[in-house]
Structure 1
Amino acid sequence: MVDSFAREPFKGNPAGVCLLDESLSNDLMQSIAVEVNLSETAFVQDQGDSYSIRYFSPIMEIPLCGHATLASAKILFQQDADLNEIKFQTSSGLELRALRNGEKVSLKFPNYGIIDREVPKSLLDAMGIKKINNSGYNHENLELMIELEDANELRNLKPDFAVMKASIDDISGVVVTAKSNQPDLDFESRYFWPWSGGDEDPVTGATHTFLTGYWSKKFGKTKLRAFQCSARTGILEVEVLNDQQILITGNARIVLKGEMTI
């Protein structure tokens, strides 16, 4: 178990990581994810020149998970002091690269975009949102984005998750974001996903595959500091490398090791 995007234990986003000696069935991986009961559990297997990686929430398989990728890389780097770069292959066909960055890990992820999409009023009502700056949709992750004017409003949201889930049925989650009012940060976000994982995710790497480019254009700079203002909180250093790739850098703390008997 690894707390990703955190310097200290019990902050950031906890991920389960299972290092496999042999392949497991989908049903067994799903059962393990239910047993571990974290937002995601990653299943990692050495393929020689790369590692396969799959992500399961307690509800379903997830195509991409940033914090579980960071957690997996942290473990592999700790196991091999001479290892400086890792190539991961996801089940959806993505190639991800993890780089040793001192005590931190840097992840090369796709630079995704968003398209315009209106948010149903019933969903906004369920979240307690009266007015928005902008909204959009990322089709790779099936996620809605809502931009608010005020970061304080973002931090104080108290959604009704059952009503949210009933208000729309073709998304996996909603990320709400705002320009930060803290001097050492650029933007903040919270991610709600009752459709595919849990109520609120503590720190979400996958949403930053499109939030990075979105806020980079608004600020007119390529390097930004992002803050996920969930109860556990998390810091992400993000950078637009080019039109195809971004870099997400963060700390991680391994908090639990063990063996599972199946």
Structure 2
Amino acid sequence: MNTLLFIVDAFADKAFTGNPAAVCLLGNPADEAFMAKTAAEMNLSETAFLWPEQDGYRLRWFTPAVEVKLCGHATMASAHVLWETGRLGSHEEARFHTRSGVLRATKSEEVISLYFPPYEITAAPPIAGLAAALGLEEAHVLETVRYADNVLVRLDHETRVCGLCPDFVQVAKLQPRAVAVTAECAADGIDFVSRFFAPGIGVNEDPVTGSLHTALAPYWAGRLNRTQLTAYQASARGGMLQLEVSQDLVTLSGRAVTMVSGQFHVPAGAVGELL
């Protein structure tokens, strides 16, 4: 079985930056064993699988360990592949049927925009041991909130976010599915910085996390009293995101670069066949 396979750097202005995602372009629904094993083989933070469905494409995302309900950078990578391979015209909207509902993407010149529902943010008490697991003192944590199954921690200075060296073993032992950290940024043209750690689901640090910004965008829009924001995720690869917040949508915009295109060869019988 041969599958079209791409690796795309998403939220990247140039190669070797942003967040790499693998994209498997299929003609039919795929067996879950195939998707799980393929994602483990790719060993990237996310591998996307998409095939035609209704008025768009079915889209599913897998880390090397689990399937996830929402992923921003692999959605951007998937839309980029559809436009780049001519399956969609450059002015056509990409529509994806996902576990988080129908997601849309558009392209204007080289900028891709994703339209995602915002996460609800709720107040939460500090989590015992989290600051230490992140390599921080408790005094550096200004606020702790939750979104979905994740924890978002606001720190007192951007340099603490950029300089974090978490103990991933200890972070994985804590209750949250993932832990994000953020701080306001004083640099020109950047409103806030962030990082995202999810060792419990096979991703120690995600380079640039679109889904996180569907929580960060409304969070910082409320604090800064602005609906248009520029964010930088301060991983080793780094990535910029342009954000716009409306009542029921967060628009995440950035660029993507194809790094690999080819075929993924799977011997017959190695995993479940395509349905």
Class of the TM-score when normalised by the shorter of the 2 chains: over 0.9
TM-score by length of 2: 0.91
Q: CA deviation at 1:120?
A: 1.8
* Correspondence for 2:269: none
Of 190, 197, 208, 1:192 maps to: 197
Q: Which residue of 2 aligns with 1:258?
A: 262
Q: Distance in 2 between matches of 1:172 and 1:150?
A: 24
Q: How far apart, CA to CA, are the structure 2 residues paired with 1:44 and 1:193? A: 24
Counterpart secondary structure, 2:145: strand
Take 2:11 and 2:202, find their aligned partners in 1: how far apart are those partners? 19
- In the alignment, structure 1 residue 237 sits paired with structure 2 residue 242: yes
- Say whether residues 1:5 and 2:19 are aligned partners: no
* 1:127 correspondence with 2:128: no
Cα deviation, 1:57-111, whole Å, max 9, x if unaligned, reads 0000011000000000111112233442111110x24110001121010000001
Q: Does the Cα contact within 8 Å between 1:113 and 1:214 map onto a contact in 2?
A: no
Q: Give the count of matched residue pairs.
A: 256
C-alpha distance in structure 2 between counterparts of 1:230 and 1:44, whole Å:
27
Question: Which of 76, 84, 90 is the matching residue for 2:82?
Answer: 76
Structure 1 gaps of 5+ residues are: none
Matching residue of 2:177: 172
- TM-score (ref. length: structure 1): 0.95
Q: Offset at 1:21?
A: 1.3
Aligned to 1:100: 107
Aligned partner of 1:87 in structure 2 is: 95
Deviation at 1:164, TM superposition (A): 1.4
The more displaced of 26-35 and 46-55 is 46-55
Q: Any gaps of 5 or more consecutive residues in structure 2? A: 1-6, 267-275
Deviations along 1:39-62, one digit per CA (max 9) or x if unpaired, are: 000001111411110000000001
Distance 1:10 1:153 in 2: 24
Higher Cα radius of gyration: 2
Aligned partner of 1:157: which letter? L
Q: State the distance in 1 between where 2:164 and 2:254 align.
A: 26
Deviation per CA, 1:120-168, whole angstroms, max 9, x where unpaired?
A: 23121111122211110012xx1100001100011111110101112x2
Q: Residue 220 of structure 2 corresponds to which residue in structure 1?
A: 215
Match 1:24 to one of 27, 30, 34: 30
Q: 1:105 to 1:116 in 2, by over 3 A?
A: same
Structure 1 residue 119 displacement after superposition: 2.8
Q: In the alignment, what sits opposite 1:153?
A: 160
With 41-50 and 207-216 compared, the bigger mean Cα shift is at 41-50
Residues 249 and 82 (structure 1 numbering): CA distance in 2 closer, same or farther, change over 3 Å?
A: closer
Given that 1:7 and 1:252 are in contact with CA atoms closer than 8 Å, whether structure 2 keeps it comes out as yes
The answer to which of 73-82 and 51-60 deviates more is 73-82
Work out which structure has the larger RCO, using CA pairs closer than 8 Å and 6 or more positions apart in sequence: 2
Q: Aligned AA for 2:151?
A: L
Displacement of 1:113 in angstroms is 2.1
Which stretch shows the higher mean deviation, 106-115 or 228-237?
106-115
Question: What is residue 68 of structure 2 aligned with on the other side?
Answer: 62
Determine the C-alpha separation between the residues in 1 that align with 2:203 and 2:126.
20
2:203 alignment partner AA: G
Q: Report how far residue 181 of structure 1 moved.
A: 1.9
Deviation per CA, 1:194-252: give whole Å up to 9, x if none. 011311100000001110000001111100000000000000000002x2111000110
| CA-based RMSD | 1.1
User: Is contact 2:69-2:100 (8 Å) kept?
Assistant: no
